[in-house]
């Protein structure tokens, strides 16, 4: 490895040490549970902070919330519907949990995001527990704290999508399968149940990721012979089928064309056909991980796995993270949150490296020997640099072509100030060889920065959400028929509590609209259809872009604007209000 960075060489030595073939004894369960408590509390503080303060963002949050709202408002609990037509791009588990939350807490933003945040906390708890059981309590505390303060993970734990739930189930499945390899017993059955719940969350990818990760690990260990019998694979997959098949069979029987649309289109075409959806280059997730794991990702080149205790859990985390990254990199369709299941094992590896630097084995009394203390001290200046960049972006926000920096200017300045101040404290503590305090300060700095960043979501709401516009329509025209021109605004049915007429391309509603007997009434093809509907009796509200409003205003006749948000406007006929009053 001549010429390789020190951290690459030292990790390779630690990972391939022949002595690590013998698994260490499991840590006491009580220690592992205690180690997961503090990171879980930290995660709950971050993930629930301001959770209810901003409207549902377009398109995913408003879409998934509306599907759950229709379920709880008298729709089918088995067949998901969006804007009252069948919508089957995802399995139903997220919708079921969100419907339950709506039934208990009412239909609002907090209830919509509640279970995603809870599953985010569960993922942190599982990661901390696993690290404590397979390494020690210190590893568990730090691994959980790192995962809770990784920006990509913390952000998605406040966003209503399937990604955090899938990540949690894949994480539990990964860890359970490894513990079955290490300790035997019944761990594999927990893994298969988690896989099944993952399938009901986002489909067959929940089977692929844990099994491929474990297979890669077994090949690395040269221990793959007899794995099918040892891991009870046939019985486990049978359990997965028993749990998941009833819903999928119901869909195949009751929804014409479901098999081709979901299994062929949403999986095979999405994986292998670049033009199908969200095509990106193979290396797409490298910068995503670098940016999404800041500042922890910047520490990696400075860390060293020196004098490590041999532990196969380290290799397993490498296998799980690399396999997940390769699977999603090979798929044609790529979105930033897809890579999230690789993050928990990466958090454990980063925690392992930091612990090896802060408390190297063999150092008398836990003292730190150079160069370890100097390596850890790099974290403070890195925080300061990130903070300075955030402050600079806030100061020069008006110079950016994008409108986002101006909208979130105050949040940028606040978060930048937290990072700069925290970086100075972290640097001082590490230079004083107070490594435990330095790591705690680093974690807390990131926690406060992430909580401060939620104000950016509040400030950027007009750019990413049409909640204000939809609420305005619900208040000012509660009995109107709502028409959406060309681009389907997901927030409209959720906040107005009514079905929306769509003019133009049906996009994601295309499959369901073909099965809807009343499609002609709610899906209009062109401007001529819109103008015919506009001239019929009854109150109507049309939501469209400013540019379209300028183009169509003469044909629509005298108008009144009753609401607006960013480029969208809601209009009604000028005489409608006078007639109602």
Averaged in consecutive runs of 10 residues, what is the pLDDT profile of the chain (581 residues)?
44 44 54 86 97 94 98 94 95 98 97 98 97 93 97 97 98 97 93 98 95 96 90 96 97 93 72 59 93 93 69 94 95 90 97 86 50 74 96 95 93 97 95 91 97 94 93 94 94 96 92 92 95 93 94 92 91 69 49
> Containing H/E element for 415?
helix 409-431
Helix 435-459 to helix 409-431 angle, to the nearest 10 degrees?
180
Q: φ, ψ for residue 474 (rounded to 5)? A: -60, -35
Q: What are residue 572's DSSP bridge partners? A: 560
C-alpha of 452 from chain center: 19
Residues 6+ apart with CB under 8 A from 397: 405, 406, 409, 412
- Give the global pTM: 0.91
- Percent helix, strand, coil in the chain, to 5, is 70, 5, 25
CB 168 within 8 A of CB 126: yes
- Residue 278 has φ and ψ, to the nearest 5°, of 50, 50
Q: Which H or E element spans position 573?
A: strand 568-573
- Are the beta carbons of 171 and 341 closer than 8 angstroms? yes
Report the distance separating Cα 234 and Cα 257, nearest Å. 29
Query: What does the alpha-carbon distance between residue 40 and residue 141 come to, in Å, rounded to a whole number?
Result: 9
φ, ψ of residue 524 in degrees (nearest 5): -100, 145
Say how far apart CA 303 and CA 534 lie, in whole Å.
65
3-state class of 84 per DSSP?
A: coil
Q: Give the DSSP letter of residue 3.
A: T
Question: In the chain, what are the domain boundaries?
Answer: 378-465, 466-580
Q: What pLDDT shows up at residue 231?
A: 93
- Half-sphere exposure of residue 505, counting CA atoms within 13 Å on the CB side? 4
Looking at residue 571, what DSSP letter applies? E
The DSSP code for 278 is -
β-sheet bridge partners, residue 503: 485, 524
Q: What pLDDT was estimated at residue 306? A: 58
* Residue 490 DSSP label: T
Measured distance CA(67)–CA(317) in Å, rounded: 36
Residue 274 pLDDT: 59
558 Ramachandran zone, left/alpha/beta (phi>0; psi -120 to 50)? beta
Tell me how far apart the alpha carbons of residues 95 and 106 are, in angstroms, rounded to a whole number.
15
SS3 185: coil
d(CA 194, CA 153): 19
**Cβ-based neighbour number of residue 371 at 10 Å:** 14
| List of E strands, 259-298 | none
The pLDDT of residue 279 is 62
Question: Which distant-in-sequence residues (6+ apart) come within 8 Å of 469 by Cβ?
Answer: 489, 491, 543, 563, 564, 565, 568, 570
Q: Give, in order, the Cα–Cα distances in Å from 288 to each of 336, 465, 466, 539.
A: 7, 24, 27, 47
Q: CB of 505 within 8 A of CB of 522?
A: no
Greatest distance between any 2 Cα atoms in the chain:
86
- Burial profile 481-493: b = 16 or more Cβ within 10 angstroms, e = fewer: bbbbbebbbbbbb
Classify 127 as helix, strand or coil: helix
- DSSP string of 28-81? PHHHHHHHHHHHHHHHHHHHHTTTTSSPPPTTHHHHHHHHHHHHHTTS-SSS-E
Instruction: Count CA atoms within 13 Å of residue 215 on its CB side.
Output: 10
User: In angstroms, rounded to a whole number, what is the distance separating the alpha carbons of residues 274 and 277?
Assistant: 7
């Amino acid at each position: 490895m001549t010429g390789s960075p020190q951290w690459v060489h030292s990790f390779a030595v630690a990972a391939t040490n022949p002595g690590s073939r013998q698994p260490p004894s499991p840590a006491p369960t009580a220690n592992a549970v205690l180690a997961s408590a503090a990171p879980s509390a930290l995660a709950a503080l971050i993930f629930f902070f301001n959770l209810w303060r901003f409207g549902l963002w377009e398109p995913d949050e408003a879409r998934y919330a509306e599907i759950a709202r229709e379920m709880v408002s008298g729709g089918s609990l088995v067949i998901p519907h969006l804007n009252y037509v069948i919508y089957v791009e995802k399995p139903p588990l997220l919708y079921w949990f969100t419907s339950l939350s709506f039934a208990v807490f009412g239909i609002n933003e907090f209830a919509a995001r509640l279970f995603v945040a809870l599953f985010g906390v569960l993922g942190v708890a599982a990661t901390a527990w696993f690290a404590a059981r397979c390494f020690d309590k210190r590893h568990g505390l730090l691994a959980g704290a790192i995962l809770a303060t990784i920006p990509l993970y913390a952000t998605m734990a406040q966003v209503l999508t399937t990604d955090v739930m899938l990540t949690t189930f894949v994480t539990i499945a990964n860890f359970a399968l490894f513990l079955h390899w290490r300790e035997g017993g019944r761990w594999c059955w927990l893994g298969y149940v988690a896989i099944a719940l993952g399938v009901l969350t986002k489909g067959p990818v929940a089977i692929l990721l844990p099994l491929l990760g474990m297979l890669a690990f077994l090949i690395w260990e040269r221990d793959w012979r007899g794995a099918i019998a040892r891991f009870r694979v046939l019985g486990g997959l049978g359990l997965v089928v028993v749990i998941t098949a009833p819903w999928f069979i119901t869909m195949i029987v009751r929804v014409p064309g479901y098999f081709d649309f979901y299994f062929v289109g949403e999986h095979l075409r999405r994986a292998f056909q670049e033009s199908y959806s969200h095509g990106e280059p193979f290396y797409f997730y490298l910068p995503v991980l670098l940016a999404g794991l800041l500042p922890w990702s910047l520490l990696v080149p400075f860390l060293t796995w020196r004098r490590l205790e041999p532990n196969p859990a380290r290799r397993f985390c490498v296998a799980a993270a690399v396999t997940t990254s390769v699977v999603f990199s090979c798929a044609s369709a790529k979105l930033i949150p897809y890579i999230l299941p690789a993050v928990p094992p990466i958090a454990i590896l980063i925690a392992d490296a930091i612990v090896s630097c802060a408390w190297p084995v063999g150092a008398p009394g836990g003292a730190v020997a150079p160069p370890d203390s100097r390596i850890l001290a790099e974290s403070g200046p890195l925080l300061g640099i990130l903070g300075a960049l955030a402050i600079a972006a806030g100061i020069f926000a008006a110079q950016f072509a994008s409108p986002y920096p101006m909208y979130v200017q105050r949040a940028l300045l606040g978060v930048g100030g937290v990072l700069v101040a925290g970086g100075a404290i972290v640097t001082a503590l590490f230079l004083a060889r107070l490594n435990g305090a330095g790591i705690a300060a680093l974690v807390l700095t990131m926690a406060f920065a992430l909580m401060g960043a939620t104000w950016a979501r509040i400030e950027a709401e007009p750019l990413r959400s049409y909640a204000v516009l939809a609420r305005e329509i619900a208040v000012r025209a509660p009995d109107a028929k709502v028409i959406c021109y060309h681009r389907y605004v997901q927030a409209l049915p959720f906040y107005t509590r009514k079905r929306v007429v769509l003019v133009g391309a049906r996009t994601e509603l295309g499959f369901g609209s073909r099965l809807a007997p009343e499609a002609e009434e709610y899906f209009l093809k062109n401007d001529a259809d819109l103008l015919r509907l506009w001239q019929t009796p009854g109150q109507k509200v049309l939501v469209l872009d400013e540019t379209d409003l300028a183009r169509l205003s003469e044909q629509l006749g005298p108008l009144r604007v009753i609401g607006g948000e960013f480029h969208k406007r809601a209009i009604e006929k000028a005489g409608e209000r006078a007639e109602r009053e």
